[in-house]
Amino acid sequence: MVNVTIDDRAITVPEGTLVIRAAEQLGLYVPRFCDHPYLAPLGACRQCLVEIEGQRKPLTSCTTTVTEGMVVKTQFTSDIAAGAQKGVLELLLINHPLDCPVCDKGGECPLQDQVLAYGPGGSRYREPKRRYVKPVPVSPLVYLDRERCVLCARCTRFASEISGDPFIELFERGALEQVAIFEDQPYESSFSGNVIQICPVGALTDAEFRFKARPFDMTSTPSVCNLCSSGCSLTIQQRRGQIVRVLARDNPDVNEVWTCDKGRFGHAYVQRPERVVEPMIKKEGSFVPVSWAEAVRLIAGRIQTVKANGESAAVLAGARLPDEDAYAVSRFARTILGTNNVDHRLRRGSAEEDAVLPQLMHAEPVEYETLERAKLVVVAGLDPREESPILFLRLRKAALKHRVPIVELQPRRTALARFGARSIRCAPGTEADVLLAAATRLGERGGVDASAVKAHHPSVSALLERCGADADHVYALADLLQRAGSDAVFLAGERLSTSPGALAACWNLAAGLGAKFARVSRRPGAAAAVWTGLHPKLLPGGRLVDNDRERLEVEAAWQTSVPAQPGLDGRSILDGASRGAIGLLYLVAIDPAFDAPDSSLGARALDTSDFIVAHDLLLTESSRRADVLLPAVAVPERAGTFTDWEIRPQTFSPAVGAPGLAEPDWQILSMIAAELGVAFPRSLEDIRREIRSLVRPQGTRTPVLVPDVSIPKSTEHYPFMLLTYPLLLDDGTMMLGANDLMRTADDVFVELNAKDAERIGVEPGESVRVSSQHGAIEAPLRVLRDLPNGSVFIPTNQRGTRVQSLLDSTDAMTFVRVDPADAGRRG
């Protein structure tokens, strides 16, 4: 610790603290433009000059670290500091336009504030100001006004230091220095909106927000992002009931001060005219608006009929529900519908997933900060930049600033490799082999508990041969794991659950090392979906349906009985529905007809269902097939909690009013319960109280059985293994109306390595036809250097075409063939 005196006040701060931060701790604000707490010190704008005793000239407080006994005088007590700051301010203004009245930044502009407080009434500068063409779009989302720019380089430093997309740079020099993009390379970044937010003046403006509102005309509400599981803290700003801007909110524990472009610009769906705003009943094939009372009465009646006839009911609920709503759905299924047929997945569950999921909430939590202190982070079955962008930023920081080794294990090299993560690439579906090979190697050296390695697995060499991973890489991973021991962190993507044995192998390896483990899903409510029991075998708190003691605890809390038989998983519910075996299909915030990983199962299941109730925001492929469609409120219109991938709950309250008659999902369920005269929570507080009593971490981690998988082999006719997952900006329903954002999205593409592309005889950019037993799609080819041989990647739900038509979720693997698109025509 170091003792310093600032403006005659003493303070003790840690060594290495910058003077400007020490001053902040005393409540002394030294004006600054280039300084930013999350960017490296620069000292370029010179606005923060202070007087330091013993120095012959004023120093920038943003670059000077404290030393023992230092005596600092800021503008409040030093004429030299005040004079220097005034001088810099005068120089900053000579070329700055006086357009505050029409500038987006007006009202929240540090330059404006500074001039108001300390600036002169007029300027001594009489010459013509620097003029530029303006605004210049640097991307579809960001507009640049170079005349307003103070050249603080926050934007360019963000791009190079934080996001690693250095496509926005300073060009020219002297008074002509300016921010620009390269002529031949667009500014492409999933994080571009941050440069707008950290711009200290109105130079970088938001393409959508430009000229929409003044900061002082808006009402701000703290919120939490619901577009992935990163858990970004946001501020939603509305004017006259319209969301006009979304900002990242400071949260050092989670998103620091950043958010991704999807989270910032992807909220247009909330206020689209397409929103479902009143309850509707299907009559003679079309929807007719009805009152809530009528809709609820109809549903209640149907529930009674189904139960009386002994028909089965089933619930599918999206993993985008807030915690309270997820809990309410779980409870509704069990206590109102009397069924465990409830799932948040549209695919098959597996024994290994069933074994791992209930343990997740009892594992020692992994937090963002944990990653910076880890000795090794293993990322498996997860593409963080596409699936959890803020996690990507934190991993980048861990790697670059704290030199944490990162190893990714996936078929496709991701953006992690750009900052030095080692990539272990394996054929899609063989992740388990890599993990078991590393574990076996580690076991041989006594580096891991033997229980992590099951006797019936083949030898290391056999495993390596099957997955095609580079042996050196796998051995290097084993070495790193041995060195890191319990300081290793495993980040397992939800996709790992669909690769046979991989989740179990990963879990066991972590358990064997005593290392931390986190499951990272794409959707914001995925963690809560598991621990609230949106799962056919799990009750709230990770309790097992078929464990009498655990079930009884839940029954006691709910004061009613819960079926003891595990229910159907998502895939089985759809199968059942498609056979007409489900009397009541209840959909909450889910779109099986669009999202089910099957050619047409989702649509078929819905078309053959007797009676479908759906809660939704919009008319989707599924909700338009409902018999009763109920308007739900969007996240910015409701109160609730999201638990991010770290298992960190964050609550939020409504930022704008709900349209029409829309209600929160839990409230809709509560209305139905009331109609039926069954006990059910009547308020958000009731639900939160129940959650608190039922969901408490307990127990310890135990290894699970790694299934002895025999991975199917490709055939001559279908020689390629298909890997597919959605990119950050996919063609999802919630991207409705986010037009500028979607201009930055990729169209669909098919990725092969160069060798395979050559073998098929297609050049990048040419169209290929990908076909499986279930269907076919066409899309242009891209070449990714080190995709494993015989593997093909297609983003799941990209504009242009949908991969779902190639899939059947009963298959462990999907095999496809890839041909030139014009092969047939060439004849």
* Structure-token match 């959605």, residue found: 726
HEC readout, 716-784 = CCCCEEEECCCCCCCCCHHHCCCHHHHHCCCECCEEECHHHHHHHCCCCCCEEEEECCCCEEEEEEEEC
Contact in structure between 779 and 794 (CB atoms under 8 Å) = yes
Smallest distance from another protein to CB 82, Å: 13
CB-nearer residue toward another protein: 46 or 495 = 46
Distance (Å, rounded) from C-alpha 398 to C-alpha 158? 16
Give min distance, CB of 586 to another protein, in A.
59
Q: What angle do CA 488, 254, 357 make, to 5 degrees?
A: 55
The footprint of another protein (CB under 8 A) covers 41-47, 49, 56-58, 63, 84, 87-88, 90-92, 94-95, 124-125, 127, 150-151, 153, 169-170, 172-177
Nearest distance in Å: CB 397, another protein:
19
List CB contacts of 16: < 8 A, sequence separation 6 or more.
65, 66
CB neighbours of 575 closer than 8 A, spacing ≥ 6? 601, 605
Residue from 241, 328, 329, 258 nearest 654 by CA:
241
**Is residue 470 a contact partner of residue 507, using CB atoms and an 8 Å limit?**
no
Nearest residue to 518 via CA among 357, 318, 321: 357
Residue number, 151 or 491, with CB nearest to another protein: 151
CB of 267 to another protein, least distance (A): 37
Smallest gap from residue 188 Cβ to another protein (A): 21
Q: Which is nearer to another protein, 27 or 174 (CB)?
A: 174
**Which is closer to another protein, CB of 68 or CB of 127?**
127
Q: Which lies closer to another protein via its Cβ, residue 95 or residue 670?
A: 95
What one-character DSSP code corresponds to residue 622?
T
Q: Where is 818: in which H helix or E strand?
A: strand 815-820
Are residues 25 and 69 in contact, defined by beta-carbon separation less than 8 angstroms? no
345: CB partners within 8 A, 6+ apart: 569, 570, 571
Closest approach of Cβ 124 to another protein, in Å?
Answer: 6
Closest approach, Cβ 181 to another protein, in A, equals 15
Q: Provide the pairing of β-strand 538-539 with 516-520.
A: unpaired
Instruction: Give 173 or 713: the residue with its C-beta nearer to another protein.
Output: 173
Q: Taking the complex as a whole, how short is the minimal distance between the CB of residue 44 and another protein, in angstroms?
A: 5
Nearer to another protein, 56 or 825 (CB): 56
Q: How far is C-alpha 222 from the chain's CA centre?
A: 18
CB of residue 3 to another protein, shortest distance in Å = 21
Of 116 and 175, nearer to another protein (C-beta) is 175
Indicate the residue among 177 and 555 with the shorter CB distance to another protein: 177
Query: How far, in Å, CA of 41 to CA of 36, rounded?
Result: 8
β-strand partners of 628: 281, 613
Of 169 and 808, which has the nearer Cβ to another protein? 169
Helix, coil or strand: residue 503:
helix
- State which residue, 114 or 226, has the beta carbon closest to another protein: 114
The stretches of 273-427 forming alpha helices (DSSP H) are 292-308, 323-331, 351-360, 368-373, 384-387, 389-401
* Minimum distance from residue 405 beta carbon to another protein (Å): 20
Backbone angles phi, psi at 591, to 5 degrees: -135, 75
The nearest distance, CB 157 to another protein, in angstroms, is 12
Which residues does residue 72 pair with via DSSP β-bridges, in sequence order? 6, 52
Of 10 and 176, which CB lies nearer to another protein in the complex structure?
176
Shortest separation between residue 139's beta carbon and another protein, angstroms: 21
